[in-house]
């Protein structure tokens, strides 16, 4: 007990969080640069170990790795929920999604005005729009299918993608023309792609189409401050990849793992095209790029979360601890590992601060501006504590320093020292009952600030699960 307390105190008090020979750069003054551009690249159900910068041995991600190599890798980067929709809601608002009742994946029902991100909450796009930014969401929306939730009504000037939580990848399978038809047939995964409000036909593999649109948007907006939310649905099921991408992963024997890897290869190619475009247009040094996954890898898509325990849908590390990196040449030091816990909540706070965009005092952010921390100007912890709630599982979890705590109707009670035990193998509850009780009270006090989900439970057609 004494050893555990001593170790945890040392971890919380330590300021040795940057491991690199590079010296932190100074943030340019607002007078010396145009407003910076922002790109958030989000993958879907990608495993923690399925990027090169986290040690992948079988899936090559040289372009995704450029973001970490040329910037900062967050070794303890988290999302706010263990499945897609609520996690994305936390990212887009910078607030714990349970504060506004987004504690479930939304049903895909254009007749339900509650099944989406409430219009009372402001997304990144809505905060940036008044200060002169042009915003695009390309890819997966999943923030509601009712007309009030449409991206073009939520601060996004351009939308190219789909409203649902998943999609099929081959253009010949995208045959559903209307919302009514999709609802009737429960065929959201087969809807035609939307360009703003119009449904269009595509002729390339979906991931490539999304990458094409991202490049086109950057080229159009190169002279204006922009925010690009590139929300890939890969490598979410169904497992579908082109022969070209499969050939590049033929060294992987397992068929599902090979297809999953091929889907990540397609994403990696797209990320490379985005980064190359920034360089070709000479705007890379004025563009901040985040990369992360929306939750941990799923048991259904052959992903790898090692050495973390658990997967998508769970609150062990494998469900919420994700690949996470950021780059901004000349501002963020390159080749740096940042070890203190950070959250997807911090993306909104970082972008709003850099854009000098006001935030409503009525809905304060739960995230922080990460730039002072990763440049070494602020040696404090970005977060004293991070929390999670899985309402339908009866789960509360928290991370404080290296201490991980979970109380769950489904999983039971857990206490781990993540520095000594990142795989959560040694449950310390029995020998630390008093500490666990205090932390449980702390989680319950936080949960009192939240509300129950306003979204009715999701019912997914088995055919559309992939």
* Listed residues 330, 352, 383: the one ending a domain: 383
The Cα 399–Cα 269 span in angstroms is 34
Which tokens is 130 given?
A: 């008044």
The model's pTM: 0.93
At 437-451, the pLDDT tens digits run 999 999 999 999 999
| 274 assigned to some structural domain | yes
Q: Torsion angle, CA of 359/363/364/368, rounded to 10 degrees?
A: -70
| 223 assigned to some structural domain | yes
Question: Does residue 104 sit in the same domain as residue 174?
Answer: yes
Q: What is the mean pLDDT of residues 317-324?
A: 98
Question: Does residue 241 sit in the same domain as residue 121?
Answer: yes
pLDDT at 27: 55
> How many CA atoms within 13 Å lie on the side-chain side of 12?
15
Instruction: Band the pLDDT of 33: cuts 50, 70, 90.
Output: low
Checking 1-8 for CB contacts under 8 A at 24+ apart, the result is 1/431, 1/432, 1/435, 4/417, 4/428, 4/432, 5/435, 7/402, 7/417, 7/419, 7/420, 8/401, 8/402, 8/403, 8/417
| 124 assigned to some structural domain | yes
The answer on pLDDT for 15 being more than 90 is no
Question: Does residue 376 sit in the same domain as residue 395?
Answer: no
Q: In total, how many domains does the chain have?
A: 2
The answer on pLDDT for 1 being more than 70 is no
How far from 133 is each of 34, 65, 236, 418, CA to CA, in Å?
A: 12, 28, 30, 40
The answer on pLDDT for 282 being more than 80 is yes
Question: Does residue 421 sit in the same domain as residue 373?
Answer: no
Question: Does residue 352 sit in the same domain as residue 422?
Answer: no
Higher pLDDT, 226 or 183: 226
Angle at 433 between CA 430 and CA 434, to 5 degrees: 160
> How many CA atoms within 13 Å lie on the side-chain side of 396?
14
Question: Does residue 376 sit in the same domain as residue 392?
Answer: no
Positions marked catalytic: 84, 142
Question: Does residue 323 sit in the same domain as residue 398?
Answer: no
Range of the domain at 104: 37-383
Higher pLDDT, 7 or 38: 38
Question: Does residue 351 sit in the same domain as residue 409?
Answer: no
Instruction: Band the pLDDT of 182: cuts 50, 70, 90.
Output: confident
Core vs surface per residue 215-241: b (16+ CB within 10 A) or e: bebbeebbeebbbbbbbbbbbbbbbbb
Question: Does residue 362 sit in the same domain as residue 412?
Answer: no
pLDDT at 303: 98
Which tokens is 447 given?
A: 């949960």
CB 40 within 8 A of CB 228: yes
The answer on pLDDT for 8 being more than 70 is no
* Listed residues 339, 363, 383: the one ending a domain: 383
At 84-112, the pLDDT tens digits run 999 999 999 999 999 999 999 998 889 99
CATH number of the domain at 394, please.
3.30.1120.10
Question: Does residue 377 sit in the same domain as residue 414?
Answer: no
Q: What is the 3-state secondary structure (H, E, C) of 200-212?
A: ECCCCCHHHHHHH
């Amino acid at each position: 007990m004494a050893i555990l307390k001593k170790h945890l105190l040392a971890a919380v008090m330590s300021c040795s969080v940057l491991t690199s020979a590079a010296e932190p750069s100074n943030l340019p003054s607002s007078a010396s640069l145009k407003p910076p551009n922002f790109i958030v690249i989000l993958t879907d159900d990608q495993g923690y170990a399925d990027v090169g910068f986290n040690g992948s041995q079988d899936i090559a991600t040289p372009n995704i790795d450029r973001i970490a190599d040329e910037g900062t890798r967050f070794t303890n980067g988290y999302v706010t929920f263990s499945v897609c929709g609520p996690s994305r809601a936390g990212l887009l608002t910078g607030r714990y999604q349970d504060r506004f009742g987004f504690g479930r994946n939304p049903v895909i029902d254009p007749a339900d005005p509650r099944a989406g991100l409430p219009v009372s909450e402001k997304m990144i796009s809505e905060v940036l729009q008044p200060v002169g930014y042009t915003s695009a969401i390309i890819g997966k929306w999943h923030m509601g299918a009712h007309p009030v939730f449409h991206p073009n009504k939520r601060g996004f000037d351009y939308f190219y993608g789909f409203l649902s939580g998943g999609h099929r990848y081959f253009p010949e399978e995208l045959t559903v023309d209307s919302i009514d038809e999709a609802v009737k047939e429960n065929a959201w995964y087969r809807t035609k792609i939307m360009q703003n409000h119009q449904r269009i036909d595509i002729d390339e593999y979906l991931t490539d189409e999304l990458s094409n649109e991202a490049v086109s948007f950057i080229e159009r907006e190169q002279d204006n401050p922009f925010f690009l939310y590139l929300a890939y649905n890969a490598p979410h099921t169904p497992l579908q990849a082109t022969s070209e991408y499969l050939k590049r992963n033929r060294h992987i024997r397992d068929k599902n793992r090979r297809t999953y890897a091929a889907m990540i290869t397609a994403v990696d190619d797209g990320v490379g095209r985005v980064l190359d475009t920034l360089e070709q247009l000479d705007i890379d040094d004025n563009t901040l790029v985040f990369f992360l996954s929306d939750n941990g890898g799923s048991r259904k898509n052959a992903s790898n979360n090692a050495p973390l325990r658990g997967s998508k849908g769970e609150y062990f590390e494998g469900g919420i601890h994700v690949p996470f990196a950021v780059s901004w040449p000349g501002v963020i030091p390159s080749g740096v590992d940042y070890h203190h816990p950070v959250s997807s909540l911090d993306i909104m706070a970082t972008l709003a601060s850099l854009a000098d965009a006001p935030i409503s005092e009525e809905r304060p952010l739960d995230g922080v501006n990460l730039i002072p921390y990763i440049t070494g100007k602020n040696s404090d912890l970005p977060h004293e504590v991070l929390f999670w709630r899985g309402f339908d599982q009866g789960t509360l979890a928290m991370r404080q320093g290296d201490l991980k705590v979970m109380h769950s109707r489904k999983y039971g009670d857990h206490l781990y020292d993540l520095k000594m035990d990142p795989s959560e193998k040694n449950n310390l509850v029995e020998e630390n009952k008093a500490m666990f009780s205090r932390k449980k009270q702390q989680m319950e006090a936080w949960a009192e600030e939240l509300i129950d989900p306003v979204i009715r439970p999701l019912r997914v057609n088995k055919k559309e699960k992939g």
